[in-house]
Amino acid sequence: MTKAIERPEQFFLQKYGLSTSSLESAIGGVLGKRIDYADLYFEYQTSESISLEEGIVKKVSKNISQGVGVRAIAQEKTGYAYSDDITTDQLLVAAKTARYIAEEGGSKGSVPVQVTAPSRNLYPVSTPPIEIPVEQKIKLLEEIDRIARQYDPRIKKVMASFSSEQKIVLIANSQGVVTGDVLPLMRLNVSCIAEEQGNRQVGTFGGGGRREYSYFLDERRFEEYAMEAARQAIMNLSAIDTPAGVMEVVLGPGWPGILLHEAIGHGLEADFNRKGTSAFSGKIGQRVASELCTVVDDGTLPWRRGSLNVDDEGTPTGRTVLIEKGILKGYLQDRLNATLMKMPLTGNGRRESYAHSPMPRMTNTYMLAGESSPEEIIRSVRKGLYAVSFGGGQVDITSGKFVFSASEAYLIENGKIGSPVKGATLIGNGPDVLTKVTMVGNDMSLDSGIGTCGKDGQSVPVGVGMPTIKVSELTVGGTKS
Amino acid sequence: MQFDINRAEELLKRAEKKGATGGDLIVVEGDSFSAQVRLKEVEKISNARGKSLGLRVFFGKRSAITSTSDLSPASLDRLVEDTCTLAQIAAEDPFAGLPPPELLAKHFPELDLVDTEVEKLPIEKKIDLARRAEQAALESDPRLTNSEGADFGHYHTFVLFASSNGFHGHYETTGASLSAMPIATQDGQMQRDYWYSSRRKLKDMESPEAIGKKAAMRTLRRLGARKVSTQQVPVIFDPENAASLLGHLASAISGYSIYKGASFLIDKLGTQIASNALTVYDDPTLRSGLGSRPFDGEGLPSYKKTVVENGVLKTYLLDTYSGKKLNLPSTGNAVRGISDPPSVGTSNFHMKPGKYTPQEIIRSVKSGLYVTELIGFGVNSVTGDYSRGAVGLWIENGELAYPVEEITIAGNLKEMFQQIEMVGNDLDPWRKTAAPTLKITRMTVAGN
């Protein structure tokens, strides 16, 4: 077992022979007269994926990817080039391409840099999850398979997967800063198919984070995941048609926070707001939610899937208040947009890998707890929908219209939770959906660590969270009109 | 390509020396370029060069797969070692294995998948294509006040595949695409839409002006969008969105979905799964097609097949593994990624066009929805339950009357396929997954 890497710059130095002076000359090579900023992003990622179905492990795979991305910025222009050969020669070739955006040539020779370590580690692990022997993970998946099948004889198929990765990054920029990070990440996922008289239904649950492998064993979490997936599949066997139209909707705590991610979060990413293409453009200081709503994006939560010590431009992550008591407060920034908008960095410059240039992205986005008890919230609804689990969502940031799809939902009748209903898509308008939040629960929780956000073809891990809330009207895309 | 067939075979042999009973190897190498222009200025230029190698190794019925973007000798040494170690840990799967040698492709069709013209263009010309598309869009109407920009991009990719049962083949492909996304404003409402053209060859692309104008038209017609009341009506899918229904069909008849029981179409082979207006082909041999390839992801031959004929499901889509699970031969639909074992995918998955013009289809509806965009992931492939966010135009008395948004359309794919009532004559064969305009008899629209 290899020792956890503590010094990313040493890792790249030893593996690829990159010295501080080669970084200095590479950055100097990108910088020209008209280039305002340049950076290099080195990445070495190992990932592993194991999946089980029909009671046996069908897939074991391991992947190594490495590369360097070179970026040059001149005002609003970005030049980006990458290579999967980490050599001084390739760096210079990439630097020349990135620099193309500034019409004039002439490099600066060299820029002095200094290595700084992130001031904290939000995800210290004694053994990275990827280093845990494959045999142990296979045993865990087999155990999950057994537990899910035991839950109910109607559970006919169980699919379980474990994926983990370890990413080592080093970021060097033209302001002389060199910083690095080592990021563990893991995820355990269980899907069950239940069958009864030709009716087949699916249930899914999972979790993870930037954590120690033992997290799944503590409190027998893996067992909870298996039972939860099985429970959902069985519950869906009795689901009836979902009503269609506008109704009161109660969203459960945790993962339903995807509402915030779609309805609010994307629209507050700085790139869209700098360009004036977001439905939230120019709305800072205005009311966009009811007084009960305070929403933050926080990349500093220990162990979370969406957390980062530093963002992918080397800026320490922070906690950004997006909405405070209903008033729009701030945007999520990366370096390019913060500079052009003359606003402070928020540590939200993220990228999928060295093959992608950074953009403003969310980390962990959640709503702070309110004062109502969840029971009280449900009791207050005469006729409506209670949605507790969701699949994915999507938003058109320009029109503000967003959707998210329930995978577990119930009717509420006269203040009581009634029949389960088939999954349905909920649709609303980002700038006004939160103005219709009339109750906020005291049960704020974060999701279990399963979120992946896509934007412009780039996927990054994120987190969401929310207490139970009541939205006075939301359009439910059922089939029963 | 730096990596040749001899190196590939040498790596497979090395695995065999370590006790492997077989294996296969894929190398993908390529470069790509993209230029983004916004409000006439260059916003981003990016250039990339990449390569990666995936190795799958069998120890009898046990297997594992590894991949890397580091093709140095030391890294590949370790890769072979790691893959062999992992494979011996993996469980025995009685169905695992390479396809039988007699089924492998011996001759490769000439598919005309490469165009080197685009690479020869100077960067300024490439930027200019994007600039012209955006300009054509923004000049169309004063209400087009802003832009998410226009993009021009192209790629050139080399694929090499070799397996220990005697297959080796390689091919190259190119592609270019141009898109524009303007933004229109009216009465405080902002709308965006886009149009694009994606082809293997530069000469086959729509002109930047045509792309810009179409993007502008699509954006402008969304202005003033409103909600409608909840009701059940006929729904017409434009070709873009009709193709998404074909995508749901493809995933439901993938051998993997079928044997896992994760499909609403299990046990439906040979039965009427759709109205007789639906006929679908999968054709990897289409000349210069975006989904064309000379052999599949396991080295099996490429051939055109009828998937659905007059509503009857003629075949599942299979690779060797999912075929064995269902006791059927592979249909040559294996897709091989770098870091994943083969799975099933489509090539050029095209619906047979019908006889109606889109106007005739619209004219047949008294009150209903013409869908121009779908958002969200509300499709349950196990049950066929379907509920997605929609944007479109409301039809009144056979005419497109006004734009609508913030509504959903819902139904069940099983019934939706049976209710394909009219099929348009407007198929765009350049798309990988393509359908013409389609009319579904009845769906639930949820709104006010």
Q: Model confidence over A47-76: pLDDT tens digits?
A: 999 999 999 999 999 999 999 999 999 888
Q: What pLDDT band is residue A5 in, cutting at 50, 70 and 90?
A: low
Residue B62 has pLDDT above 90, yes or no: yes
The amino acid occupying position A454 is G
Nearest Cα residue in chain A from B409: A477
CA distance B107 to chain A (A): 31
What whole-number distance in Å separates Cα of residue B138 and Cα of residue B102?
57
Contacts of B183 in chain A (CB under 8 A): 277, 398
The pair of structure tokens assigned to A376 is 């009280």
Contacts within 8 Å (CB) and 24+ apart, A449-453: A449/A187, A449/A206, A449/A207, A449/A208, A449/A209, A449/A304, A449/A305, A450/A187, A450/A189, A450/A206, A450/A207, A450/A208, A450/A255, A450/A305, A451/A255, A451/A258, A451/A261, A451/A305, A451/A306, A453/A261, A453/A361, A453/A362
The beta-carbon neighbor of B387 closest among A49, A53, A424 is A424
For the stretch B317-363, pLDDT in tens is 999 999 999 999 999 999 999 999 999 999 999 999 999 999 999 99
| Residues B38, A80: C-beta atoms closer than 8 Å | no
Rounded alpha-carbon distances, angstroms, from residue A41 to A68, A135, B125, B303, B314 = 5, 34, 29, 44, 50
For the stretch A410-436, pLDDT in tens is 999 999 999 999 988 999 999 999 999
**Is residue A61 less than 8 Å (CB to CB) from chain B?**
yes
Pick the residue of A30, A277, A283, A354 with the most B CBs within 10 A to test the interface with B by mutation: A277
The amino acid occupying position A240 is I
| Residues B46, A357: C-beta atoms closer than 8 Å | yes
pLDDT at A109: 67
**Is residue A33 less than 8 Å (CB to CB) from chain B?**
no
pLDDT at A16: 87
Asked if residue B158 lies in contact with residue B68, where contact means CB atoms within 8 angstroms, the answer is: no
The pair of structure tokens assigned to B373 is 């965009």
Rounded alpha-carbon distances, angstroms, from residue A292 to A241, A324, A370, A427, A439 = 32, 9, 7, 21, 7
Residues β-bridged to residue B411: B386
pLDDT (average), residues B281-298: 98
CA distance A81 to chain B (A): 5
What whole-number distance in Å separates Cα of residue B313 and Cα of residue B263?
14
CA distance B355 to chain A (A): 31
Higher pLDDT, B377 or A305: A305
**Terminal CA-to-CA distance of chain A, rounded, Å?**
60
Contacts of A423 in chain B (CB under 8 A): 378, 380, 385, 387
pLDDT > 70: percent of chain B: 100
The beta-carbon neighbor of A427 closest among B50, B260, B406 is B406
Please provide the average confidence, as pLDDT, over all residues in chain B: 96
The beta-carbon neighbor of A404 closest among B49, B69, B376 is B376
pLDDT at A1: 35
pLDDT at A108: 63
Q: What is the pTM of this model?
A: 0.95
Contacts of B389 in chain A (CB under 8 A): 394, 401-403, 425, 427, 477
pLDDT at A17: 84
Contacts within 8 Å (CB) and 24+ apart, B131-135: B131/B37, B131/B40, B132/B208, B132/B209, B132/B212, B133/B178, B133/B179, B133/B180, B133/B208, B133/B209, B133/B211, B133/B212, B133/B215, B134/B37, B134/B38, B134/B39, B134/B40, B134/B180, B134/B182, B134/B212, B135/B40, B135/B212
| Residues A423, B42: C-beta atoms closer than 8 Å | no
What whole-number distance in Å separates Cα of residue B24 and Cα of residue B54?
8
Range of weakest confidence among A107-121, A269-283, B60-74: A107-121
Range of weakest confidence among A90-99, A294-303, B34-43: A90-99
The pair of structure tokens assigned to B305 is 């097949």
Residue B173 has pLDDT above 90, yes or no: yes
For the stretch A440-450, pLDDT in tens is 999 999 999 99
Q: A458-466 and A364-367: which strand pairing?
A: parallel
Count CB neighbours of A17 within 10 A: 11
Left if phi > 0, otherwise alpha if psi is -120 to 50, otherwise beta: which for A143?
alpha
pLDDT (average), residues A226-246: 97
What whole-number distance in Å separates Cα of residue A126 and Cα of residue A121?
12
What SS3 class is residue B86?
Answer: helix
φ and ψ at A265, to 5 degrees?
-55, -55
**Terminal CA-to-CA distance of chain B, rounded, Å?**
58
Asked if residue A400 lies in contact with residue A431, where contact means CB atoms within 8 angstroms, the answer is: yes
Asked if residue A341 lies in contact with residue A440, where contact means CB atoms within 8 angstroms, the answer is: no
pLDDT at B181: 98
What whole-number distance in Å separates Cα of residue A173 and Cα of residue A153?
58
pLDDT at B190: 95
pLDDT at A2: 44
Contacts of B405 in chain A (CB under 8 A): 399, 401
For the stretch A395-407, pLDDT in tens is 999 999 999 999 9
Residue B251 has pLDDT above 90, yes or no: yes
The pair of structure tokens assigned to B132 is 């012209």
| Residues B46, A81: C-beta atoms closer than 8 Å | yes
Higher pLDDT, A32 or A442: A442
Torsion of CA A221, A447, B382, A199, to 10 degrees: 70
Query: Could you tell me how many CB contacts below 8 A there are between chain A and chain B?
Result: 253
pLDDT (average), residues B226-231: 97
pLDDT (average), residues A294-312: 98
Cβ within 8 Å of B, A 269-288: 275-277, 279
pLDDT at A347: 97
The beta-carbon neighbor of A100 closest among B38, B45, B87 is B45
Residue A301 has pLDDT above 90, yes or no: yes
Question: Tokens 């967003």 label which residue?
Answer: A402
Please provide the average confidence, as pLDDT, over all residues in chain A: 93
pLDDT (average), residues A344-348: 97
What whole-number distance in Å separates Cα of residue A390 and Cα of residue A255?
7
pLDDT at B2: 65
| Residues A246, B448: C-beta atoms closer than 8 Å | yes
The pair of structure tokens assigned to A98 is 């990135």
CA distance B87 to chain A (A): 8
Rounded alpha-carbon distances, angstroms, from residue B285 to B112, B203, B292, B349 = 10, 20, 6, 11
Nearest to B345 by CA among B383, B402, B409, B297: B297
Contacts of A424 in chain B (CB under 8 A): 378, 387, 408, 410
The beta-carbon neighbor of B50 closest among A53, A84, A393 is A84
What whole-number distance in Å separates Cα of residue B220 and Cα of residue B184?
6
Torsion of CA A108, A112, A114, A115, to 10 degrees: 50
pLDDT at A119: 80
pLDDT at A368: 98
pLDDT at B3: 76
Q: Is the dihedral of CA B234, B238, B240, B246 positive or negative?
A: positive
Q: Which domains does chain B have, with CATH numbers?
A: 5-219 (3.30.2290.10), 225-448 (no CATH)
What whole-number distance in Å separates Cα of residue B255 and Cα of residue B272?
18
pLDDT at A107: 58
DSSP at B226: B
Asked if residue A48 lies in contact with residue A164, where contact means CB atoms within 8 angstroms, the answer is: yes
pLDDT (average), residues B129-154: 97
| Residues B49, A84: C-beta atoms closer than 8 Å | yes
Nearest Cα residue in chain B from A71: B46
pLDDT (average), residues A170-196: 95
Asked if residue A412 lies in contact with residue A439, where contact means CB atoms within 8 angstroms, the answer is: no
Nearest Cα residue in chain B from A480: B444
φ and ψ at B50, to 5 degrees?
-150, 160
